[in-house]
Amino acid sequence: MSDTNTSMVEKYRNNFLKEVEANVEEGEWVKMCMQCGVCSGSCPLGPHWDHPPQELFMMIRAGKRDEVLESTSMWMCTSCYNCIVRCPRELPITHIMHGLAHYATRLGIEPKNQPTRKFAQLFWDNLARNGRVNELKLGISLYFMNGIVEGIKTALGMAGIGMGMVKTKRMNPMEILGGHTVKDKKGFQAMIKKAQELEAARVDN
Amino acid sequence: MSDEMKIGAYICNGCGLGERLDSGQLETTATRDGKAQVCQQHDFLCSEAGVKMIQDDIDNEGVNRVVIAACSRRAKTDAFNFENVSIHRANLREGVIWVRPDTDEMTETTQEMADDYIRMACAEAKFSKIPEKSGEQGINKNILIVGGGVAGMNAALEASKAGYPCTIVEKSAALGGATAQLYKKIPTKAPYADPEDTGVDEMIAAVEADSNITVHLNSTTTNISGAPGRFAADISAESGSTETRDFGAIVQASGFTPYDANQLPEFAYGKNKDVVTQMELEALAKEANGGAIKRPSDGKEVSSVLFIQCAGQRSKKEGHLEHCSGYCCSASIKQAMYFKDQNPAIDTTVLYTDLRTPGAGGENFYRSGQQKGVIFTKGIASEVVDGANPTVKFKDLILDEDNDLEVDMVVLATGMVPNSGQPTRAELTDMDSEDAEAEKAGEEVEIRVDVESILNLDYRQGKDVPHMANGFADSHFICFPYETQRTGIYTAGPTRRPMDSYQAREDAVGAAMRAISEAENAGLGRAAHPRVGDLSFPTFRKEGCTQCKRCTVECPFGAINEDEEGYPIYNESRCRRCGTCMGACPVRVISFENYSVDTVGQQLKNVDIPDEFDEKPRILVLACENDAYPALDMAAQNRLEYSAFARIIPVRCLGSTSLSWITDSLNSGFDGIVLMGCPSGDNYQCHFVKGSLMAQERMSKVGDTLETLNLEKERVQTFEISITDIHRVPQIINEMAETIEQIGMSPFKF
């Protein structure tokens, strides 16, 4: 358990709803859910979630901190925005799902083996380096996400498609050596750093 | 009317009638078969010129029975509105040309239909009299209001504004009723975010300042006799004095009694002082008056509170209320705000299964509660464990798990028990009791019930207005909410259905307006809803009466009393003119001037019955004029076709159907009979409450009659029709036609 996590538990003691309201993006909306279940019914991946959004909101109100933050559910969200469009109470459900996932990550208690979480991390690392997504590297790191053996297998399986993409100039093999960047890479990185500082300062308060 | 009868038949050629029908033939039918002394045609009968033509004949030719062969009796009533004559309509448009295809081979049967309707209308005209006033009428503008809560007070204020003096009789020592016990009320104005002041004090002041309103506190109505326009009420004070006063109409706004929470031992009520009802919390909030609410057991400031919704309500368990009281969800939100507004750190949880916040602002108020941080948990409480702090055990319905919560105080959202007085004799006999057994055995039974009567009506049928499910005063929820089964007595507020104080105030306006209109109607000798303005009233031929009491028992409105010999006494202004008594009378002595066993009986006898070998059966349709007949009209407007062999006669209520009509029509050669009434039962739509039920019961015995005539049972069928059954009604008629095709023609044709 990370220090932040311990301190947050301490700070909000038994009031998880207040913790969510203060720390999760759009978290102040959670109390407005009226448990109609339209979000859960509208979610295209709904049946695959352990706890659909409506249930997560109820769990937050019931103070089930660990079950919520360690849950894989909000990581299942694909941002299709069906729930937001349909929610009669106009809750920004998609944003709250991402907010919860982000908060769990910040506390270091997110489900480590959830594939979406892994992909999200790879994507961010890839993007934050040059300010551009390097698709070749992202693809390769994705293949090797679950170990070398599986990585080689997947890479071989995808070789034909890869060659085709190179031939039709959809993929540049030279990207493997660094790859393209934004014009002002230094500036970009400074910007990201500043944002992280601001975020950290906000959390500490 | 002493003058000679003169029938004038007027045939319209408009709306395509002229093209589809042979109007010369119709004229011949009217004069030869219908014996109309005057007969004229017009291309546009409902136009000014057409109407003038009829009026001229009334004025100059002495026509006093007007037969209009044009559209349905429900159409153009403004145009065909002649005074001091009786009006009879042959429905050639909706009843004939609109329901039949316009083809050459159909012309013959279509014409036969039209001819029959003219014969029928003329026959009805021949046997109708023009209604005259009975002389029983008298106007009395005073309105009696039983109950001085917000509903009663508002009824008085509104009626007084309209110029009708009111008398409020209140049982307790003060006006204001249940609302006066509240700290604040559920908001009634936008943005519906915070509890509002009850406004009861202002209302009481307004009532006291109104010279048109008399208030009797500590008083009850110990006897009410008479009828609309001439009610006599004994108003007895607790001190023992009684004064008798006369009233034109009555509003019953006797409110509700909070459900007795002692019946909820599972929630530790009575055992743990910190388990209170909503009404008790109102008292605590009043005491705190904006400060911290202290709990009853040790006076500690409450820091956490849980509301159990539907406590002893919406449950079929013995001793629980089956209904939803409708106001308690909003009330709990309001009460949670008492805590949150004083100190947002107080934990407030509302434990609900279905949160229902009726009214325009209900949803906003719910949202406001959520914004203020009230926690809403969907779950069912199973038990409150007694302790220094009560612990609520509940099943969370979203998380599907058992949970418990320790709080400083628990509030039970118990419901409303209507103050609707005693059940009637008829309701008692429906129940499974010793009294009921004795009553059925024909013994005279004193009604023994542990409920005090409110109105103490001096009616043969019982001391209070009849009840429906869950003890609320019976009224039709949607169509005629204020109407009770006692004409001239209107219910308002929670005595007729659960509601909050705002709804009760609104409700009172409606009931007051109905009371006013009934006082006026009674003064003119006119019927109340639904035959508003009808001047006819039932009379009976004493020589023929066998004192069987069926009319008094079956009248849905308690309109008929008995004299010492057991003959019926009609209270004209209590009567709604449905004719259920007429249908009930086994010796056919009851009739109205313009509606009797003959006016219908002669119509069906005047239908031309073709020879058995003509392959033209005849189907008699007796259709309730309130729903089935309009449904048939609408089917015609949609050009839905039905059999050309059907002959439709509207009846005031299927309950007025005399069995003689059935036997007579079978004897005269009708092949099938279709009876169309309104749905009966708990969700009845009968405009006369019990008429269709009575008809069903009587028709269930018609099978024996058919057997004695050696006829198939399928020939007589009863249907429950709603006004929306537009596609079903033609289908029913066509199915009867098919049935006849299968079982063959009636052998009773001459």
Residue to substitute from B329, B374, B398, interface A, most A β-carbons within 10 A: B398
Range of the domain at A33: 3-110
* A145 near B CB under 8 A: no
Task: Locate the chain B residue with the closest alpha carbon to A51.
Answer: B399
Distance CA B153, CA B151 (A): 6
Cis peptide upstream of residue B390 (ω within 30 degrees of 0): no
Task: Locate the chain A residue with the closest alpha carbon to B400.
Answer: A55
Distance CA B597, CA B589 (A): 9
For residues A9 and A95, state if they share a domain: yes
Structure tokens at B385: 């464990």
Q: Please check whether residue A109 is in contact with residue A86, taking contact to mean a CB–CB distance below 8 angstroms.
A: no
Q: Give the mean model confidence (pLDDT) for residues A46-54.
A: 91
For residues A25 and A94, state if they share a domain: yes
Helix (H) or strand (E) holding B720, with range, is strand B716-720
Helix (H) or strand (E) holding B702, with range, is helix B702-708
Whether residues B399 and A55 touch (CB distance < 8 A) is answered with yes
User: How far, in whole angstroms, is CA B464 from its chain's centroid?
Assistant: 16
Q: Please check whether residue A24 is in contact with residue A60, taking contact to mean a CB–CB distance below 8 angstroms.
A: no
pLDDT at B444: 53
Q: Which of A34, A59, A61 lies at the smallest CB-CB distance from B375?
A: A61
For A23, residues 6+ apart whose C-beta sits below 8 A from its C-beta are A8, A103, A203
Closest CA to B195 of B42, B369, B344, B343: B369
Contacts of A35 in chain B (CB under 8 A): 376, 378, 398
Check which CATH number belongs to the domain holding A64 and give it.
1.10.1060.10
* A182 near B CB under 8 A: no
Rounded to two decimals, the ipTM of the complex is 0.84
Pairing between β-strand B416-418 and β-strand B256-258 as defined by DSSP bridges: antiparallel
- ∠ CA B448-B451-B454, nearest 5°, is 110
Write out pLDDT tens, residues B321-376: 999 999 999 999 999 999 999 999 999 999 999 999 998 899 999 999 999 999 99
pLDDT at B2: 45
A205 inside domain: no
**Residue position matching structure tokens 């990207």:** A175
Q: Which DSSP string corresponds to B452-482?
A: PPSS-B--TT-SS--B-GGGPBP-BTTTBTT
* A17 near B CB under 8 A: yes
- ∠ CA B263-B267-B272, nearest 5°, is 100
A63 inside domain: yes
A77 inside domain: yes
Pairing between β-strand B219-225 and β-strand B231-237 as defined by DSSP bridges: antiparallel
CB crowding A171-182: b at 16 or more within 10 Å, else e = beeeeeeebeee
A146 inside domain: yes
Helix (H) or strand (E) holding B674, with range, is strand B672-677
Structure tokens at B525: 């000798």
Distance CA B439, CA B427 (A): 11
Distance CA B740, CA B306 (A): 67
For residues A155 and A188, state if they share a domain: yes
Indicate the Cα dihedral angle A181, A184, A187, A191, nearest 10°. -50
Looking at residue B238, the DSSP 8-state letter turns out to be T
A204 inside domain: no
Task: Locate the chain A residue with the closest alpha carbon to B355.
Answer: A34
Closest CA to B706 of B660, B663, B737: B663
Whether residues A34 and B396 touch (CB distance < 8 A) is answered with no
A190 inside domain: yes
Whether residues A34 and B376 touch (CB distance < 8 A) is answered with yes
With H, G, I as helix, E, B as strand and everything else as coil, classify residue B623.
strand
Write out pLDDT tens, residues A161-185: 989 999 998 888 888 887 888 999 9
With H, G, I as helix, E, B as strand and everything else as coil, classify residue B169.
strand
* A54 near B CB under 8 A: yes
For residues A91 and A123, state if they share a domain: no
For residues A70 and A150, state if they share a domain: no
Closest CA to B290 of B339, B330, B325: B339
Contacts of A64 in chain B (CB under 8 A): 399
Q: Is the dihedral of CA B365, B368, B370, B375 positive or negative?
A: negative
* A62 near B CB under 8 A: yes
pLDDT at B479: 83
User: Strands across the sheet with B231-237, in order?
Assistant: B219-225, B231-237, B242-247
* A19 near B CB under 8 A: no
Distance CA B261, CA B296 (A): 16
A157 inside domain: yes
Contacts of A17 in chain B (CB under 8 A): 375
Other CB atoms within a 10 A radius of the CB of residue B699 amount to 19
End-of-domain residue from the set A78, A110, A142: A110
* A58 near B CB under 8 A: yes
End-of-domain residue from the set A80, A110, A140: A110
* B366 near A CB under 8 A: yes
* A133 near B CB under 8 A: no
Q: Which of B373, B399, B403 lies at the smallest CB-CB distance from A31?
A: B373
User: Could you give the C-alpha distances from B315 to B318, B321, B495, in angstroms and in order?
Assistant: 8, 6, 20
Q: Which of residues 377-396 of B touch A (CB under 8 A)?
A: 377-378, 396
User: Could you give the C-alpha distances from B605 to B122, B620, B647, B744, B750, in angstroms and in order?
Assistant: 12, 11, 11, 21, 13
For residues A97 and A141, state if they share a domain: no
End-of-domain residue from the set A90, A110, A130: A110
* A134 near B CB under 8 A: no
pLDDT at B170: 97
Looking at residue B228, the DSSP 8-state letter turns out to be T
For residues A13 and A104, state if they share a domain: yes
Whether residues A58 and B355 touch (CB distance < 8 A) is answered with no
For residues A85 and A163, state if they share a domain: no
Residue type, position B538, single letter: P
Q: Which of residues 403-432 of B touch A (CB under 8 A)?
A: 403
Which segments of chain B have a pLDDT < 50?
1-2, 432
For residues A134 and A186, state if they share a domain: yes
For residues A48 and A136, state if they share a domain: no
A29 inside domain: yes
Closest CA to B94 of B662, B566, B729, B569: B729
Distance CA B570, CA B424 (A): 20
Cis peptide upstream of residue B228 (ω within 30 degrees of 0): no
Distance CA B407, CA B414 (A): 19
* A31 near B CB under 8 A: yes
Other CB atoms within a 10 A radius of the CB of residue B348 amount to 26
Task: Locate the chain B residue with the closest alpha carbon to A59.
Answer: B399
All domains of chain B in start order, with CATH: 1-130 (3.40.50), 143-255+454-524 (3.50.50.60), 258-415 (3.50.50.60), 539-589 (3.30.70.20), 595-750 (3.40.50)
For residues A129 and A180, state if they share a domain: yes
Write out pLDDT tens, residues B381-431: 999 999 999 999 999 999 999 999 999 999 999 999 999 998 877 776 665
Residue to substitute from B351, B399, B404, interface A, most A β-carbons within 10 A: B399
Number of domains in chain A: 2
Other CB atoms within a 10 A radius of the CB of residue A145 amount to 15
CA-based nearest distance B634→chain A, Å: 38
CA-based nearest distance A18→chain B, Å: 10
For residues A103 and A11, state if they share a domain: yes
With H, G, I as helix, E, B as strand and everything else as coil, classify residue B167.
strand
